[in-house]
Amino acid sequence: MHCRPFHCAAVVLGFCLLNTVAAGQDAITEHIPSFFRSGEYLAEETYVADANVRRGSQVIRDFTESDTIARFVLTPRIKLGVLRLGAEWERFSFGLPHGAQLPNTLQSASLVVGLDTQLSDSILARFEAQPGLYGTNHLEGNDFNVPFLLGGTYIYNPNLQFVLGVSVDVERKYPVLPGAGIRWKIARQWVANAVLPTPRLEFQPSKDLTLYLGANIKETNFRVSDNFGDTHGRKSQLNDALLTYSEVRTGLGVDWKISSMTLTAEAGYQPYRNFDFYRTEVRYHEDGSAPYGMLSLHGAF
């Protein structure tokens, strides 16, 4: 993928390092007698309407996208801090026309292995790896990869926190990328949560309701099949090739807390999408924005 202004930000942390801050310092130090007593979960579905991508004079027109995510992570407390042990599955399904030189499915199935720890009264740190398979329709052994991140949060005060991190993926065009973010409670009901990959400006009219304007920046590497190029008109050029898929969504959303879980609904536009076989210089980029809608159910226990 080209290093456009938002590119280095897009892959900064893989996903939000401020989960630690959201849980608060007590989540690191609180004593819980039962080893497996807490965790988090997510079920999410996003639908993107008809859009086009272009490569030179070649245009793939009017295809839809479905992005499905399921995640379950246990967060037991140990002496060193909070372990993160779980699994995640994500699947992109594209309604591509017959003969398109792109995969109609990208999916990953990975473990989540990490640790949140407290280095001082005001500094929290996270290490998290996601070893797993990142491929297309049929996941195979050579789809294995281990992207990981290292990050830290400095709690200046309860209303202001700073985040620094580095994301590492040896199969990415730029394997190591740093980044930073800030979470600032501007006023009693307003929060600027400027932490990638989901920066948001939040307004909380009530305890159980949050309205927000935000973005979702996604980028993941996938490996296509051994015969992908042969079956998609590129001969051997794209056989077993690495594909970086990235997209940006911007929209309005609402979080509604229902007991211990949160229902989120979001709608907006996808202004950017890119399919990049970066080692072969084959790239398809967004040719016009598309509307999207997202629903998710997530929470902690």
- Residue by residue, DSSP assigns 26-39 as HHHH---SSSS--E
| Helices (H), ranges, 88-176 | none
Whole-number pLDDT of residue 91: 98
0.85 cut: is pTM over it?
yes
User: Cis peptide leading into 97, omega within 30 of 0?
Assistant: no
- The distance from CA 13 to its chain's CA centroid, rounded to whole angstroms, is 9
DSSP state of 80: T
Write the DSSP symbol of residue 97: P
CB 194 within 8 A of CB 9: no
Diameter of the chain measured on Cα atoms: 63
The mean pLDDT values, 10 residues at a time, for the chain of 301 residues are 38 38 35 56 98 94 97 95 97 93 96 96 96 96 97 96 95 90 96 94 97 96 93 84 97 96 98 95 93 97 90
Which position has the token pair 């056989």?
239
The closest alpha carbon to 64, from 107, 104, 106, 108, belongs to 104
In this structure, are residues 83 and 115 in contact, taking their beta carbons and an 8 Å threshold?
Answer: yes
> Please, are residues 45 and 67 in contact by the beta-carbon 8 Å criterion?
yes
Q: Which residue has the tokens 């979080």?
A: 255
> What are the residues whose beta carbons fall under 8 Å from the beta carbon of 12, sequence distance 6 or more?
165, 166, 167, 177, 178, 179, 180, 181, 196, 197
Query: What's the pLDDT score for residue 4?
Result: 44
Beta bridge partners of 124: 118, 153
Which of 27, 151, 28, 15 lies closest to 88, judged by CA? 15
Closest alpha carbon to 244 in 284, 286, 277, 203 = 277
Q: Which residues make beta-bridge pairs with 79?
A: none
Phi-psi region of 196 (alpha: psi -120 to 50; beta: other; left: phi over 0): beta
Distance CA 74, CA 113 (A): 10
pLDDT of 253 reads: 98
What local confidence, expressed as pLDDT, does residue 219 receive? 93
DSSP structure string for 240-280 = T-EEEEEEEEEEEEEEEEETTEEEEEEEEEEEEEEEEETTT
59 vs 20: CA distance, rounded Å:
43
Contact criterion met (CB below 8 Å) for 71 and 59: no
Report the distance separating Cα 221 and Cα 198, nearest Å: 19
